[in-house]
Amino acid sequence: MPELIILKLGGSVITKKSEEKAEVNEENLKRLVREIAEARRENNFRLMVVHGAGPFGHVPAKKYGLDRGLRDDTQLEGFSATHQSMERLNFSVVDFLRKEGINAIAYQPSTLGILKDKGLIYFPTEVLEKLLDMNMVPVAYGDVLVDEKTGINILSGDHLVPYLARKLKADRVVIATDVHGIFNLDPKKYKDAELIKEITSENVKLIREIGTSKRTDVTGGMERKLNELLNLAKYGIESEIISALKPGILKRALLGEKGLGTLIKK
């Protein structure tokens, strides 16, 4: 069976997150999709894509307080509006992939998954497995879901990726973001911040400060991402956080090259 890679495309890369505009960064997305297509032509691997939300999800979710659970009926309007906004972004990602000859198909989390106190407890993968066996490329995303404890809540793409990696028995995970990896200090604040090439449960204490976004983000930022990936490493599934802003890095990562960012392993 060909290698299975789960790729996370960060919302900060594929949208105009820095401007808090619900607009696709078409230049970045087109280049990344081209790199994906080139990598798949050079090597036969199965691929599942999960993309982040950027302002498409974070701004309406924040407006309606969806990350605090269901408190009044106006949030149901927010549930609908946020999901519809994410569908627009997902359509663009799938469309760009298809234009590069990739048989991508949208995969909608809100009608499938169930959270419990923000943790994903149910997300069937039988259809995903069939699609991947057919060499289709399912494209899921961060979304709003029913929550057994809070009524409704946010499913972050960073939470969905490790869940799917375990369930689908992925070989590895690639996280494409707007930074080169994880640093011992926030590189956007400290010029002497040093990139940590490998992180395990043993050396994670080297990180004295993890940068948190100044922009609207209701999903926990880099700290939660790291914790999720460290937990995934316990199952023997390695992840690497790479920069999606530097041309060629994503393609090299998909083709198996390591050491391009921060490798998270057991």
71 Cβ neighbours under 8 A, 6+ residues apart: 65, 151
**What is the spatial distance between Cα 226 and Cα 22, in angstroms, rounded to a whole number?**
26
pLDDT score recorded for residue 212: 46
Question: Hey, which residues does 139 pair with through a beta bridge?
Answer: 49, 106
**Which pLDDT tens digits describe the chain residue by residue (266 residues)?**
899 999 999 999 999 988 788 999 999 999 999 999 999 999 999 999 999 999 999 999 999 999 999 999 999 999 999 999 999 999 999 999 999 999 999 999 999 999 999 999 999 999 999 999 999 999 999 999 999 999 999 999 999 999 999 999 999 999 999 989 988 888 878 888 889 999 998 888 767 666 544 454 444 566 777 888 999 999 999 999 999 999 999 999 999 999 999 999 98
Q: How remote is the C-alpha of 182 from its chain's centroid?
A: 16
Residues 107-137 have pLDDT tens digits of 999 999 999 999 999 999 999 999 999 999 9
Residues 29-40 have pLDDT tens digits of 999 999 999 999
pLDDT score recorded for residue 209: 63
Which token pair is 148? 């057994």
Q: Model's pTM, two decimal places?
A: 0.92
Query: What is the number of helices (H) and of strands (E) in the chain?
Result: 8, 14
SS3 assignment, position 181: coil
**What is the spatial distance between Cα 26 and Cα 143, in angstroms, rounded to a whole number?**
21
**What is the spatial distance between Cα 143 and Cα 51, in angstroms, rounded to a whole number?**
10
Question: Hey, which residues does 175 pair with through a beta bridge?
Answer: 8, 241
129 neighbors 168 (Cβ within 8 angstroms): yes
Which token pair is 140? 């899921």
Which token pair is 158? 């960073």
SS3 assignment, position 264: strand
**What is the spatial distance between Cα 175 and Cα 153, in angstroms, rounded to a whole number?**
23
153 neighbors 69 (Cβ within 8 angstroms): yes
Name which of 239, 258, 252, 244 is nearest 39 in CA terms: 252
Residues 78-89 have pLDDT tens digits of 999 999 999 999
174 Cβ neighbours under 8 A, 6+ residues apart: 5, 6, 7, 8, 239, 240, 242, 250, 253, 254
Name which of 205, 154, 172 is nearest 7 in CA terms: 172
Which domains occur in the chain, in start order? Answer: 4-264 (3.40.1160.10)
pLDDT score recorded for residue 224: 76
pLDDT score recorded for residue 208: 60
Which token pair is 106? 């949208």
